[in-house]
Structure 1
Amino acid sequence: MGVAELIEKVYPQGAIGTYLVEQLLEHNARSRPDMEFRSLGDSPCIGLIMDPACGRYSTRPAPTFDDQMRYVHSGQHRDICVYEDVNTRFIHEDLFAKLAQFMRHGSRAR
């Protein structure tokens, strides 16, 4: 997500929005001052918890691990979903909407 989008959509959302953006800008200034974007951590995991259909996936047998912690693909275990693509726009827009609702309604936002 671009820094400009965070400033426009998150920063105006009261003390919490200001805090979130300023923390991110301070982190960027220390680690990568030339960076104009930021990955927001585990947001794909959050999106998939909210809606497992917000990504494109295939099913494959779950691997196991050997003594060296390498994957072993025996094909003998249950199928798991392996996501190739996740709709991060859905996740980010949900964050923006929840911050705005919180500003309007406080912790009573639904």
Structure 2
Amino acid sequence: MGRGPTGTPQGGPGTIMNRPGDGVAEKEDSIQVEGTVTEALPNTQFRVELENGHSVLAHISGKMRMHYIRILPGDKVVVELSPYDLSRGRITYRYK
């Protein structure tokens, strides 16, 4: 990132600058719940039974995939649910 002619920060190609009021959703909007993996499905997706009894379809987060963290049926996990679709989520943590 360089500076513009007025000395203000200026983004390079592909730089996304978040400003208040831009309408960019923040990660804090998600709902985190604990659950147990009941079924492993194709394409690194899993059926997760939540503590409240609901069942959701969840995929592994990118950081977990990057660190080769394996998830098996029976594992206790933390699932991040989107407020827009509560039937799908992202697995963000596996308990040891």
* TM-score normalised by L of structure 2: 0.27
Identify, as 1 or 2, the structure richer in strand: 2
Q: TM-score, normalised by structure 1?
A: 0.24
